[in-house]
Amino acid sequence: MTMSFVLRFSKDERTGVRPHVEAPCCLLSIVKRPGVLVLLCGVAALISGSLSVAAAELDQPRPRIRDLGIVIGSYPTGPLNAITDVAGVKVGHQTLIRGEGALKPGEGPVRTGVTVVIPRDDVWHQKVPAGFFVLNGTGEMTGLSWVAESGFLEYPIALTNTLNIPRVANGVMSWMIQRYPEIGITDDTLTPVVAECDDSRLNDSQGRHVSEQDVIAALDGATSGPVQEGTVGAGTGMVSYGFKGGIGTSSRQLSDKEGGYTVGVLVNANHGRRPELLVNGVPVGKLYEQPVQTSEALVPGQSEGSIIIVIATDAPLDSRQLTRLAKRAALGLARTGSTARHGSGDFMLAFSTANIIPHYPKEPTYRSIHLADTHLNPLITATVEATEEAILNALTMATSVTGRDGRTIEALDIVRLTTVLSVSRRD
């Protein structure tokens, strides 16, 4: 009897998408016969054993850090606890997983993708104030010179792997030109913001498998709802603190007295060494007692990994103040154990949706509101907390992945994590 299994995606209240394996009708009919139930279980185990770790774990729900009763900081989260709690912000992913076995440069295995953040609809004509901070510059986020010069952002932000930057930039430009056909003719040109992390520990990086069409699909599919996390989009091949890393997000909501503003953070976590990992102040990395992985056994010339942090807020901040928030995200990164080693690329970009910077204003002046620096402290704290939690969500939501050359990067074991935290609390 020939059996086939289909990977389907259905809605999940928390993540927006819940993958599961769907059995064919012949197997569903067998289930109704108790006499062959044991046989079916054995066949299922055999089939699951032949799947890659990435596929096998897709059906296992992973928790966010708060699902484990771990509360980071003091400010409450927004309804989704995601960057999309900032009204108008959209996130989209395109995930590429195919092939297995030995690396064939240019062919596979493929464990990569692209993630996009759209600050607001029609951001080309209604630009958002923006600022950035580079903690350690062994990496790239394109377009920052124009952000520094202008103080605003006028297109989506794209995250991907290192060697795919040019193709992803092409995808962003093609998407923008489709919507604004006068770009480069009677309108301005554009310099897209594309940020990278190196996923070559799991992925055929030389293949540059993310196409323009993948980028356009991610942008077209971007939504303002729940955000998928972990092994998805740009985070598909990422490793963080010796565990499977990837995409994580979180948000914070200020009280009405403090302005009622929202801060949302999205990260692509591909940084850190296992002994450094801190979870809510507990040295989980040192207490985890896992064998040293290939991802930790770095040699001179090997990357220390990177992290990209995107911060959104609806507070009325200018470019200078957003740069200050971007700097504070580095403190949230440090709270998870990172020391921004030589060889690490740590880039933070912040934007505000509160004001509109017009594209070609007819009048020589335009109005905007501006939060006083003396009222900035709650936003600073919120940024630090949301960054810390977003990184931890990336770790707890990621699934184990087997990639090039049969190399497996295991996900953080949730049972072991909760045991370590429980013992630490008793001590």
Q: What is the DSSP string of 78-122?
A: -SSSSGGGSTT-EEEEEEEEE--BS-BTTTB-EEEEEEEEE-STT
Taking alpha carbons only, the member of 203, 137, 132, 160 closest to residue 344 is 137
The model's confidence at residue 28, banded by pLDDT at 50, 70 and 90, is: very low
Catalytic position from the list 303, 344, 352, 400: 344
Residue 379: strand pairing partners: none
Is residue 368 annotated as part of the catalytic site, yes or no? no
Note the residue count of the chain: 427
Catalytic position from the list 295, 314, 346, 400: 346
- Give dist(CA 40, CA 49) in Å, integer: 14
- Give dist(CA 64, CA 330) in Å, integer: 21
* C-alpha 331: how far from chain center: 18
Domain borders along the chain are 6-50, 65-426
Q: What is the DSSP string of 250-317?
A: EEEE--GGGT--EEEEEEEEEE--GGG--BTTB-HHHHS--PPPTTT---TTS--EEEEEEEEE-S--
The CATH code for residues 65-426 is: 3.60.70.12
pTM, full prediction: 0.85
- Give dist(CA 112, CA 95) in Å, integer: 6
Q: What's the sign of the alpha-carbon dihedral 254, 258, 261, 265?
A: negative
Q: What are 310-359's pLDDT values in tens digits? A: 999 999 999 999 999 999 999 999 999 999 988 899 999 999 999 999 99
Q: What are 92-123's pLDDT values in tens digits? A: 999 999 999 999 999 999 999 999 999 999 99
- Give dist(CA 322, CA 132) in Å, integer: 7
Catalytic position from the list 205, 251, 306, 319: 306
Is residue 140 within 8 A of residue 330, CB to CB? The reply is: no
Is residue 346 annotated as part of the catalytic site, yes or no? yes
Is residue 266 within 8 A of residue 117, CB to CB? The reply is: yes
The model's confidence at residue 25, banded by pLDDT at 50, 70 and 90, is: very low
Is residue 401 within 8 A of residue 53, CB to CB? The reply is: yes
- Give dist(CA 151, CA 372) in Å, integer: 18
